[in-house]
Structure 1
Amino acid sequence: MAVTDRTELRLAGAGGQGLILGMQILFRALGLEGKRAAQSQSYEPTSRGGYCYSDLILSRDASDYPLVTGLDVIAALSQVGIERSLPFIKPGALVIVDERLVETPPTGPFKLHVLPLSERAAAIGSPKVANIIALGAMAKLSGVCGRDALEEAVRLETPPKFADLNLAALKEGFALDHLALADA
């Protein structure tokens, strides 16, 4: 996927899944690469389990509107995350959903990849890193950001005691591209 003058990305799911942190990491990585971006988020007032998303607008020039109007890339870690985001998904967009947490994957004129995000997170030691696995898959499949910058951003944005686990999760996300291509 080529980055255009304006590329809109979203991590969506439920509160407590680390979606905001995921986009903060991507935002930092894009900054390390010298790219322009704006990041925003929204969540329901419940602290865990309510609808939550975090968006990132990547643009070549200063964006005149820093909020999503049409998603080019989305990774959803829950059914509600994908359902509430569907109206914003552009035709031809890259759509990544968790195979376990999104029981009914969407259909439409987009590139859908159903991936074992939460399963892989549990396998490497913590279900809490599904967000970072999704981030790695999103970056790899979209080409929006390089792996080196993402690794550095993980080191900068996460507590040192979780850095190794998050770096392992990022590596896992980048490795999922062979599965995603089989789904395409």
Structure 2
Amino acid sequence: MTDSMERREIRLAGSGGQGLILGARILFEAFAIEGRRASQSQSYEPTSRGGFCHSDVVVSEDLSDFPLVTGLDALIALDQVGFDRSIALAKPDALVIVDTRIDARDAEGRRLHRLPLTERAVVTGSGRIANMVALGAFVALSGFVRPSSLDEAIRRETPEKFAALNAAAARVGLTMGETAAAA
């Protein structure tokens, strides 16, 4: 990671209950740990679980920048609805990380990585930590933030009783991302 970063727009997308808002808060915190300026926003349908949800992080050195996404540099999609409703915002060279269950034909030409996010989360301890697996993969594939900053952000933003499991899931994702990057 270089000392300066041009504007980067990142979206975590899926359905309510998948931990997307927590994931973006953790990513926001990781940038803050590195002294970077960031904003975080979210949107979700008024259902408690299952409705479309996304959470965005915009990182820019310019304080005057518009804090909402206009063209995604990275999309992390945990389900089909999140992918379908977000892919049109992804730039042609965007990094797109999706769970293997997603039909990602619309991402052709982008830097697409179909990874077993949910499957690895289940093996690690719970399907509910796919968001953390995805964050680890994102950090490895994007280089936008250091793995140590992600680890520290997880410790800061996660309830203590879930911190070890979330950190383990992120490490699984980091390894998966490093393997995908080397392929």
> TM-score normalised to the size of structure 2?
0.94
Task: Answer whether contact 2:100 2:116 (CA < 8 A) is retained.
Answer: yes
Q: How does 1:35-74 map to 2 (within 5 A)?
A: 35-74=36-75
Give the secondary-structure state (helix, strand or coil) at the position aligned to 1:106: helix
**1:30 and 2:39 correspond:** no
Q: Percent identity?
A: 55
Distance in 2 of aligned mates of 1:57 and 1:40: 9
Question: Cα 1:18–1:147, aligned 2, differ >3 Å: closer, same or farther?
Answer: same
Distance in 2 of aligned mates of 1:23 and 1:107: 22
Gaps of 5+ in 1: none
Structure 1: which 4+ aligned runs deviate by more than 2 Å? 1-4, 103-109, 178-183
Distance in 2 of aligned mates of 1:85 and 1:31: 25
Gaps of 5+ in 2: none
Q: How does 1:8-23 map to 2 (within 5 A)?
A: 8-23=9-24
**1:159 and 2:159 correspond:** yes
Task: Answer whether contact 2:132 2:173 (CA < 8 A) is retained.
Answer: yes
Task: Give the equivalent residue in structure 2 for 1:98.
Answer: 99
Distance in 1 of aligned mates of 2:179 and 2:164: 24
Distance in 2 of aligned mates of 1:136 and 1:147: 8
CA RMSD of aligned residues (A): 1.6
Give the secondary-structure state (helix, strand or coil) at the position aligned to 2:125: coil
Task: Give the equivalent residue in structure 2 for 1:175.
Answer: 175
**1:88 and 2:128 correspond:** no
Task: Answer whether contact 1:10 1:71 (CA < 8 A) is retained.
Answer: yes
Give the secondary-structure state (helix, strand or coil) at the position aligned to 1:75: strand
Distance in 2 of aligned mates of 1:31 and 1:106: 33
Distance in 2 of aligned mates of 1:105 and 1:97: 11
- Cα shift at 1:63: 3.9
Question: Cα 1:107–1:152, aligned 2, differ >3 Å: closer, same or farther?
Answer: closer
